[in-house]
Amino acid sequence: MNRDDRAFNRELETLLERGRAIRPLPDVVRARALARARATIAKGAEAVPAPTAANPARSVGRRIALAAAFTLLIGGAGAVAAIRGGMLERSRPAPAPVAPAARVAPPRPQIPAAVTPEPESTPKPIEKRHAARPTAQESYAAELVLLHRAHVAYASRDFSSALVLVAEHARRFPNGRLAEEREALRVRSLAGSGRTADARRAVAAFATRFPRSVLLPRLQETAGTPD
């Protein structure tokens, strides 16, 4: 037994020894791998100016957003100070707009008139755009995943699971980009599970919400004649 173990260990060691050798790649495979790598470099070279050009723009955007946030903050603080001090005089016409640097220590009477319109006019959309982009993408991806799961459940005739997932989608993304598809799936799942009355109600709701949907005729047909 012990001798067997020793023999086996030797065999294992031999195996590892042979495994240490690195086998040369066939030329075809190497050529293919290098061609793909070169293509990546070429693509990268095309893309290189874009990030370098985009980076300053992004940083400028970030700066603008920061400046907007800063002015908002100062405006807010100034407004609070004005309210507390009982100096909120909306009726008095505002004097000439004050430069941002001068607004760091805002004179109380000028605050409501000069500060409030500015953040809403220019920098806010930029800030909004920068903040909203990733979340929109993320939420779309999450929507897609959820609805895909619902579709898979529907395709495997697991209508109750599909309806649960549809309900979850409706809860998380009531006005999501895939709301139309979700509602269509709800109708089909209800019809598939034999809940004809619910399916008809869902179709009616769908028709109200998406009256020009290309899915509508088919859904009406489905709700009328469930699977």
Partner 1 sequence: MGYLRLVHSAEPAPAPETSCLEAYNRDLDYLFETLQRLGAGAREVEDLAQEVFVVLHRHWPALDTTRPLRPYLFGVAFRVVCAHRRRRKREVPWLGLDAEDSGSSPEGQLQSKESVALLMAALERVPLPRRAVLVMHELDGVPIADVAERFSISRFGAYARLRKAHRELASAVRRLLKEGAPR
Q: Is 152 in the site for partner 1 (CB under 8 A)?
A: no
Q: Which stretch binds partner 1 (CB under 8 A): 19-27, 110-118, 157-165, 208-216?
A: 19-27
Interface with partner 1 in residues 41-80 (CB under 8 A)? 41, 44-45
Q: Which of 10, 40, 100, 125 binds partner 1 (CB under 8 A)?
A: 40
Residues 6+ apart with CB under 8 A from 189: 150, 154, 159, 162, 163, 166
Q: What is the DSSP letter of 94?
A: P
Q: Which stretch binds partner 1 (CB under 8 A): 9-17, 54-62, 66-74, 113-121?
A: 9-17
CB neighbour burial string for 93-122, b if at least 16 within 10 angstroms, e if fewer? ebeeebeeeebeebeeebbbbbbbebbeee
Q: Which of 1, 21, 101, 105 binds partner 1 (CB under 8 A)?
A: 21
Q: Three-state DSSP class for 69? A: helix
Q: Which stretch binds partner 1 (CB under 8 A): 16-24, 49-57, 122-130, 177-185?
A: 16-24
With left for phi above 0 and alpha for psi between -120 and 50, is residue 21 left, alpha or beta?
A: beta
Q: Which residues bind partner 1 (CB under 8 A)?
A: 8-9, 11-12, 14-16, 18-26, 29-30, 32-34, 36-38, 40-41, 44-45
